A and B are shown apart, each in its own frame.
Chain A
Amino acid sequence: MRLLFVEDSQILRRAVSKALRHSGYAVDTCDNGEDGLEAAETTEYDVLILDVMLPKLDGLTILRKLRFAGCKTHVLLLTARDTVADRVDGLRQGADDYLVKPFATEELLARVAALCRRAYGEKSALINVGPLRLDLGRRHIERNGKEIDLTAREWRLIEFLALRGGKVVARSEIEAHIYDDLVEPMSNVVDSAIYSLRRKIGPDLIRTRRGLGYALEAPSV
């Protein structure tokens, strides 16, 4: 899952993006509204986290512009404004969720996870793929009841493939959603991550479609 976090407070930006990355998200950050809008328009994100009061361009304006342009990415608004009118206004502008500062990091992570699931039409936090069972809420994965220990990057990959429901996902798409701007576009991080993931969950679940990409499927009997 790839997120954009637009927040002018450097401290908050640093801390929250660290927590998000630790939870397995690829996170891009911006410290002002103009850069945030540009990033949201040029990159496909699964969730946008927007502070409302931003330098140059406020979060609500970004939201309006994105919705006007047809962008359907789920948006979580962060703000210090806590009145009902503020929340209603934010939601009417097209936000999918609203979180008031100061917030618990756990709550932010939970809301982001819920928005990510909604982004792929998945309401349940539990996904079963053959012998594989993913608990998106707890970030837990097991095969035949046996827990599998994954790195954050491996979790991002398996979660993304699982949410696509067996569809073939192109390598470029994986790169766009799983890796943030810190990764070199030409690197073979996807291949290495697929290889690493297969070693842990078993070689029979991730199918390679030559020239198309990868799909997470239950093994054929």
Chain B
Amino acid sequence: MMLGAMGVFIQWRLVRQLTAEFDGSLLEEGQALAALAEQDNGSITTDFSGESMPQFERTRGAEVFVLASSDGHELARSRSLGDTSLPLGGTSMDLPQFSHSTLPDGRSFRFVRIRFTPRNEEETEGRKPAGSSPRLEALLIVGRDEDPLSATLSELRAALLSAIAAAVVCLAATVYWSVRRGLRPLHALGREVSAVDAHSLSIRFSTRHFPSELGPIAASLDRLLERLQSAFDRERRFSANAAHEFRTPLSELRAVAEVSLAVPATESEQTQAWRDVLTATNRMESLAACLLHITRSENPIAAIERKQLLASEAISAAWRPFAGRAALRGVHISTEASCGVSIETDPSLFRAIADNLCGNAAEYAPSGSTFEVSAEQRADCVSFFFSNPPGAIVESDIPHLFEKFWRKDAALHDGAHHGMGLAIATDLTGLLGGSLVARLIPGPLLQFTLSLPLPGRLQNQINGPA
């Protein structure tokens, strides 16, 4: 587009310049002819001689002229004009006028019309003009064939167009080559990114030899790959752990089945074998339920129905199923008055979280210890504190408490605990927009802090001792 505009401009300038030079030359010739005219005794004559200006003498020559008096009476004409008549209309004395005209024989001419006062012969000779004869005006029309100019202009136009076309082609080729060359690293990066799959997430692009312009993209891709690799590793660990957890009950089932088929058994042994099958099946069912729970808790689409809930009642209900087991171990619950807080949350999710924390306390708190539950209202959330002596848990265990399949004693295969309870509780807390953290506090006590945000309509009602 720019090249086109530039071409048009250059052509316009050239046409103008050449036309101006053409006109200048034509005007000079006209002025030379005008200088040959003189008036003497009320008439206008011209000293035009074909010898000095032979171009006007050729028949159908390229240059013509007509000299006329101011009243339109033709005084002289060039032989080259032949019989062709030219309009002898008036023009001003001030400026010569240029015009185009096509002669009847088809030739295209450019004319200059000059109105002038021929010099007086007597004045020229230094004599005083006789009498008071009026000063006569004359009209000179000089024309020149335009074809050479038109041809020159056509050639220039053609040359310009060719140059522009060549420039456009060169520019397009240069741009194409430059873009291709410039995009080559990007294509290479694209190919490498396309080749990345689940098994090659450890690749890093910033270490490759890419131009510095691609540095930010490579760094961003690396960060994306790091996140993906982390997620894949986490899922692989989870899948491996889940498969690992299933191996033991599967081994049990297989061994019981194979031994039952291969080894004769008494009636009591057969009964025991069926009991074992049932136990292993229950264990797998429990494990499958945990896995399903995790899948659902990781699904943000899961519907959350918030209702007003009295926390102390929910905690008591959560403790109830574990109370018998806890009593056998001498573990008792102590719920502080602050737990009488009413919160707006999803009752089933809150109950699931509380179930897990209560179950852990009933199972793992040291015998004879107290499981303390309290709450605290803060500006933007309500925090619940579940505390009991840490037993075998030490500081280095704290970061692992929420890992899926983590157990303090990794070998415990009691069928009821898969090491996923706290991981599930954390996920459920996340669904509620809260947090669940663990820490060892002076006492020493292992304290879980469940913080739930206050929704808009949340209100606290401290109801006194629970």
Please give the residue numbers on chain A whose beta carbons come within 8 Å of chain B beta carbons, in ascending order. 8-9, 11-12, 14-16, 18-19, 22, 33, 51, 53-56, 58, 80-82, 100-106
Among candidates A9, A58, A80, residue contacting B244 with C-beta atoms closer than 8 Å = A80
Report if A15-B276 is in contact (Cβ < 8 Å); known contacts: A102-B247, A102-B250, A103-B251.
yes
Nearest 4 interchain pairs by C-beta: A80-B247, A15-B255, A102-B251, A53-B411
- In the complex, what distance in Å separates the CA atom of A103 from the CA atom of B279? 19
- In the complex, what distance in Å separates the CA atom of A101 from the CA atom of B276? 17
Please give the residue numbers on chain B whose beta carbons come within 8 Å of chain A beta carbons, in ascending order. 244, 247-248, 250-256, 258-259, 262-263, 269, 272-273, 276, 279-280, 409-413
Chain A residues with CB under 8 A of B273? 15
- In the complex, what distance in Å separates the CA atom of A16 from the CA atom of B276? 13
| B244:A12 contact, CB within 8 angstroms | no
Chain B residues with CB under 8 A of A100? 247
Grouping DSSP codes into helix (H, G, I), strand (E, B) and loop, the B interface class, with mixed when no group exceeds half, is helix
| A19:B259 contact, CB within 8 angstroms | yes
Q: How many A-B residue pairs have CB under 8 A?
A: 77
Report if A81-B252 is in contact (Cβ < 8 Å); known contacts: A15-B259, A22-B263.
no
| B262:A22 contact, CB within 8 angstroms | yes
Of the candidates B251, B262, B263, B410, the one having the most CB atoms from chain A within 10 angstroms of its own CB is B251
Chain B residues with CB under 8 A of A55? 409, 411-412
| A18:B259 contact, CB within 8 angstroms | yes
- In the complex, what distance in Å separates the CA atom of A101 from the CA atom of B254? 10
| A101:B259 contact, CB within 8 angstroms | no
Among candidates A8, A15, A58, residue contacting B256 with C-beta atoms closer than 8 Å = A15
Chain A residues with CB under 8 A of B412? 8, 55
- In the complex, what distance in Å separates the CA atom of A51 from the CA atom of B413? 12
- In the complex, what distance in Å separates the CA atom of A81 from the CA atom of B411? 12
| B248:A80 contact, CB within 8 angstroms | yes
Can you list 19 contacts pairing A with B, beta carbon distance less than 8 Å?
A8-B412, A11-B252, A11-B276, A11-B279, A12-B248, A14-B272, A15-B259, A16-B259, A22-B263, A33-B411, A80-B251, A100-B247, A101-B248, A101-B251, A102-B251, A102-B253, A102-B254, A102-B255, A104-B254
Chain B residues with CB under 8 A of A105? 254-255, 258-259, 262
- In the complex, what distance in Å separates the CA atom of A100 from the CA atom of B246? 13
The residue of chain A having its C-beta at the shortest distance from the C-beta of B272 within the complex is: A14
Chain B residues with CB under 8 A of A56? 409
